[in-house]
Chain A
């Protein structure tokens, strides 16, 4: 599904150059539930942005669904994002003057689906996420958890192959965080690849595969079977903290 090969990325900050990703090799299969972890500045968000075609890379190759993602026009990448990827952000990023239903329907609007049809589909998804009564509410009338669920519905509506979530629980309290993770798990169970960036161990522990980044390189990849061990180390880390 996703094949990264020796990805490099640097940002130019004034006169200095910041080398963020220093050769990332990563394979993610269809249907995996992956979390990317790392301290701030380790390049996890940059990696996610490259995966989501929001940012380009300097070196290496990135294949998504066996297609090479490189040097695309803005138009092409916008269409590809629309078809392939659903985004969930830490700060929800709902459009403030559109109600929940309209927010969810937005990707279909860019696909050219007519208003009636896309609003009907949006209602289905809101219903799935238990937000049907909130369809007419504006984002500022909803709680953080509700907003994130709206954002998830929006990410799902265009039937993406991958859900990319950048700190989806970063702005939520623990119980809401777990609810959101439950939703993401369900989505994953339907066969959609879910990749989240997080720095919370307990969140990462709910995924099937943890990719730890350190200074722009992959430090370790903890697979499904090892997660028990990961939980163990995580608990120990907590105790020492």
Chain B
């Protein structure tokens, strides 16, 4: 079917008009090139963002307190309030949908340098946390270990520190593990240096400038009583965190005499909803990419179709001869469609290769730039390339179809008479 003669014919037809073939092919080339580049860039943005949040529990929600905005049960609006240990105790016992629950206290970076070691001082973000926190917002120990249950239970004066803290408070050759840091007047032993796995940042400040100490130690050592500034929860498998968020808000409002319709008093944030927004955004980007890409490709394909019509017009006589000596209409049609598919696929293939090549170069540059960029792995996956190829073949066939129909409608006798 697609034998040497067919190829010779196609190549000679294209060679006869190099410039025209090139210009035509360029439309298709540009379409597929754009499609690949845009899709790759969109994917890179998605990868970059998703890479930054992949170690973060997607079923998590976070709660803090704000002033009340509705007067209720004798309290005026604008009241300050705060969570306490009893709230957490109550939630642990009465809400079964919770997987992890981790209360937190915030330290005092705003008061200037809060950490001292010999001659060295620094201002860091101090958090009192439970070990469950590491299951919500992932951290890995670079040196030493993470904080554990026993640290909390025994109210040990230990801390894990971010990499920037290590850099500021210790010499390069020094091993920070086992050393002491004086944090707001209390000595803590460093048990681990930790590295953040995600870019999602709860509580502000740079994640590398974090010092985490056991929640219980922080509450006792700095006289917080039973106060809690903030807590994080994750929902059990099969439970929607949005539903859990609403339930917890209802409970907390009841326990703290806050009007049920007070929208401001409890600050909260749930990652599930944010993830949905992101997914929609990336879906939108991909959809737009395909719409624009296919549009550009269509313009190219129409060009191919147009040029095929011209070629057929020029070859009317030749088609007439072929039919006179026994070429069936199907054969003629196959020739024309094959030629069109060939032109489209060749142009598309070049576009595809150049697009992928450019993305690869971009990728190398990004890799060299380190992981501080929100743009990662601008890749084109196999399915993307295959679907682009499928689109090309289909588009080529489509571009050839109308001219081919035109060609077989020419009667052999008219074609022979064409030259007059």
Contact = CB atoms under 8 A, between A and B. Distances in A.
Interface of A: 49, 52, 54-55, 74-75, 78-79, 81-83, 86-87, 89, 91, 93-98, 102, 106-107, 109-111, 115, 154-155, 158
Interface string B1-37: 0011100110011001000000000000000000000
A123 B327 CA distance: 21
B413 A107 contact: no
A111 B330 contact: no
B5 A95 contact: no
Interface in B376-420: 408, 411-413, 416, 419
B330 A55 contact: no
Nearest to B331: A110
Given A78-B323, A95-B321, A115-B5, A110 B413 contact: no
Nearest to A107: B325
B317 interface: yes
Nearest to B415: A54
A74 B9 CA distance: 23
A98 B13 CA distance: 12
Given A93-B416, A102-B5, A74 B326 contact: no
B5 A52 contact: no
Given A97-B12, A115-B5, A154 B325 contact: yes
Given A78-B326, A82-B326, A83-B326, 15 more contacts: A52-B324, A74-B408, A78-B327, A79-B326, A81-B325, A89-B321, A93-B324, A94-B321, A95-B322, A97-B13, A97-B16, A106-B325, A110-B322, A110-B331, A115-B5
B353 interface: no
Given A49-B413, A55-B413, A93 B317 contact: yes
Contacts of A93: 317, 320-321, 324, 416
B318 interface: yes
A98 B331 CA distance: 18
A52 B321 CA distance: 13
Contacts, number: 70
A97 B9 contact: yes
B413 A54 contact: yes
Nearest to B15: A97
A93 B5 CA distance: 18
Nearest to A91: B419
B329 interface: yes
Interface of B: 3-5, 8-9, 12-13, 16, 317-318, 320-331, 408, 411-413, 416, 419
B324 A75 contact: no
Nearest to A45: B417
Contacts of A75: 328-330
Contacts of B320: 93
Given A93-B317, A93-B321, A111 B413 contact: no
Contact of B324 (A87, A94, A109, A111): A87
Give the dominant DSSP class at B's interface. Answer: helix
B412 A54 contact: yes
Contacts of B322: 95, 106, 110
Nearest to A114: B3
A155 B324 CA distance: 10
Contacts of B408: 74
Contacts of A102: 5
A120 to B, nearest CB: 15
B386 to A, nearest CB: 33
Given A49-B413, A93-B416, A79 B328 contact: yes
A89 B325 contact: no
A110 B325 contact: yes
A159 B3 CA distance: 24
A102 B16 CA distance: 19
Contacts of B8: 97-98
Nearest to B5: A109
B325 A82 contact: yes
A115 B412 contact: no
Nearest to A74: B329
A96 B9 CA distance: 10
Given A93-B416, A110-B331, A54 B326 contact: no
A159 B325 CA distance: 12
A169 to B, nearest CB: 18
Contacts of B4: 115
Contacts of A106: 322, 325
Closest 5 CB pairs of A and B: A82-B326, A97-B12, A110-B326, A54-B413, A78-B328
Contacts of A89: 321, 416
A158 B323 CA distance: 14
Given A75-B329, A110-B331, A81 B419 contact: no
Contacts of B411: 54-55
A95 B319 CA distance: 9
B11 to A, nearest CB: 9
B318 A95 contact: yes
B328 A110 contact: yes
A111 B408 CA distance: 19
Contacts of B12: 97
30 contacts: A54-B324, A54-B413, A54-B416, A55-B413, A74-B328, A74-B408, A78-B323, A78-B329, A79-B328, A81-B324, A82-B325, A83-B326, A87-B324, A93-B317, A93-B321, A93-B324, A95-B321, A95-B322, A96-B318, A98-B8, A102-B5, A106-B322, A106-B325, A107-B326, A109-B5, A110-B325, A110-B326, A110-B327, A115-B4, A155-B325
B60 to A, nearest CB: 68
A131 to B, nearest CB: 18
Contacts of B330: 75
Contacts of A110: 322, 325-328, 331
Contacts of A107: 325-326
B326 A111 contact: yes
A64 to B, nearest CB: 15
A87 B415 CA distance: 14
Contact of B325 (A87, A91, A96): A87
